[in-house]
Amino acid sequence: MRDVAVIGVGMNRWGELWNVAIRDLLAESVLKALDDAGIDSVEAMYIGCMTSGLFTDQEHLGAIGPDYSGICPVPGTRVESACASGGAAFRAAYMHVASGTADIVMAAGVEKMTDVDGGGATFALATAADQEYEVYNGITFPGLYAMMANHHMNKYGTTRDQLAQVSVKNHANGYNNELAQFRMKVTLDQVKNSVMVADPMTLLDCSPITDGSAAVILCSLDKAKEITRKRVVKVVGSGHASDTIQLAQRDDLSYLKSTELAAKQALDMAGKKITDIDFAEVHDCFSIAEIMVIEALGIAKVGKGGPATMDGVTAIDGMFPVNPSGGLKSKGHPVGATGVAQIVELTEQIRGDLDKNRQLKKANIGLAQNMGGSGASSVVHILEGV
Ligand code: COA
């Protein structure tokens, strides 16, 4: 295995983009990433996408990607791991370069979710849960996370305000991100009083339905130093783990074992402890998810993710900033693109590329955690500026 760096990133403005086809959505970020790296092609492309067939009737993104980005005959492969598809695509691209079989490889991600109505989106997303034991009995994704939230509240005394504070924090961060879908600040009362989706998760506890894409370019470290004039951002850790797809089969409903294990792999590979990391982008698909993720990563003690959030530990100016981009909650969650967009944020923070109002003071080492389903898969990466 050889050292690998990120040398180019690109992302479009996320939102409800009815006038853009999925092919153009993907190509926009791909072309931006190529431009950022100062190159005009790559040797291979991995595309994270959960379910373009159900959302847009379009499969075969491994061909659509290179074709509409104008880089044929580059081989393209679609990677699917539900909402962790983007993180898994990045890991595949990383492995490809690390193995020495290619020098420059792209990881992209896309999902165009608003071409179907709310019921269609709920159906498509629920295909990431266990159909026979969960979905056929009426569960939806907000319902699964609501069960985890109720368990966490009963077991640890996590409060409604602590859950809502995740959304308040992430919307405050996303307010300064010009590419975010929902750039508005919200208060605790607004979150708690917004329409109920699945008790206790209200509308403002949920990530939205989003059209969006993101792309990053990976390169062997030696070559990266020749190509880029920007700060070289090295991939120092990569981890991937799974858990039972069915929530009922877990030892603990409100603990994300796959996240703990993926993080352990990535940290061991990097030779680091969680306290060595400066900031993280994590999978806050619902407010409770961020609380469980920071516990599984060791940013907060198990059961103390709620108080840590309330005390400002994970705020942008806190001890361990989490989701400076606005996270899935404010930036949006086009499922296949989310994991790649986390790498875009890590890279830009580490390079110091961002506007003053959202550039972190200390951003040399960042961690990205991307999760599939209700935690059945988890991918963690650690990036460091060199
Ligand atoms: N946060 C903030 N505002 C939101 C929002 C969100 N998550 N979702 C929708 N809105 C806003 C819309 O802009 C719209 O505002 P407007 O009336 O001012 O135009 C309003 O709320 C209603 O939007 P609508 O699209 O009708 O909402 P919906 O009821 O169809 O969907 C959810 C809301 C929460 C059910 C949907 O966003 C959802 O399912 N989210 C979870 C996605 C998910 O499970 N992802 C996978 C996770 S692993």
In this predicted structure, what is the pLDDT of residue 44? 98
Task: Write out the CATH class of domain 138-207+236-385.
Answer: alpha beta
* Residue pLDDT, tens place only, 327-341: 999 999 999 999 999
Measured from the CB, is residue 285 less than 6 Å from ligand 1?
yes
CATH level 3 topology of 4-117+210-233: Peroxisomal Thiolase; Chain A, domain 1 (3.40.47)
Report the pLDDT averaged over residues 265-280. Answer: 98
Domain 4-117+210-233 and domain 138-207+236-385, same fold? Reply is yes
* Residue pLDDT, tens place only, 246-262: 999 999 999 999 999 99
In this predicted structure, what is the pLDDT of residue 136? 96
Contact partners, residue 286, CB within 8 Å, separation at least 6:
142, 145, 146, 149, 201, 205, 206, 207
Please report which confidence band the pLDDT of residue 104 belongs to, taking 50, 70 and 90 as the band edges: very high
Measured from the CB, is residue 32 less than 6 Å from ligand 1?
no
Q: What's the CA-to-centroid distance between 325 and ligand 1, angstroms?
A: 19
* Residue pLDDT, tens place only, 54-88: 999 999 999 999 999 999 999 999 999 999 999 99
Matching residue, tokens 């690109």: 10
Q: What is the DSSP string of 114-177?
A: TTS-HHHHHHHHHTTS-TTTTGGGT--HHHHHHHHHHHHHHHH---HHHHHHHHHHHHHHHTT-
* Residue pLDDT, tens place only, 11-57: 999 999 999 999 999 999 999 999 999 999 999 999 999 999 999 99
> DSSP code of 83?
B
* Residue pLDDT, tens place only, 105-154: 999 999 999 999 999 999 999 999 999 999 999 999 999 999 999 999 99
Nearest-CA neighbor of 291 among 159, 139, 111?
A: 159
Contact partners, residue 128, CB within 8 Å, separation at least 6:
50, 82, 83, 141, 372, 373, 376
190 within 8 A of 196, measured Cβ to Cβ: no
In this predicted structure, what is the pLDDT of residue 206? 98
E strands in the chain = 4-11, 44-48, 76-79, 104-112, 196-198, 201-202, 211-220, 233-242, 279-281, 365-372, 377-385
Domain boundaries in the chain?
4-117+210-233, 138-207+236-385
Work out which ligand 1 atom sits closest to the CA atom of 141.
Answer: 44
Matching residue, tokens 């009083």: 193
Work out which ligand 1 atom sits closest to the CA atom of 121.
Answer: 39
* Residue pLDDT, tens place only, 289-321: 999 999 999 999 999 999 999 999 999 999 999
User: Is-above-0.95 flag for pTM?
Assistant: yes
Q: What's the CA-to-centroid distance between 30 and ligand 1, angstroms?
A: 27
Distance separating the N- and C-terminal Cα atoms of the chain: 18
Measured from the CB, is residue 64 less than 6 Å from ligand 1?
no
Measured from the CB, is residue 142 less than 6 Å from ligand 1?
yes
Report the pLDDT averaged over residues 220-238. Answer: 96
In this predicted structure, what is the pLDDT of residue 211? 98
Please report which confidence band the pLDDT of residue 230 belongs to, taking 50, 70 and 90 as the band edges: very high
In this predicted structure, what is the pLDDT of residue 119? 96
Q: What's the CA-to-centroid distance between 210 and ligand 1, angstroms?
A: 9
Measured from the CB, is residue 145 less than 6 Å from ligand 1?
no
Cis peptide bond N-terminal to 208, omega within 30:
no
CA distance 28 to 346: 20
70 within 8 A of 62, measured Cβ to Cβ: no
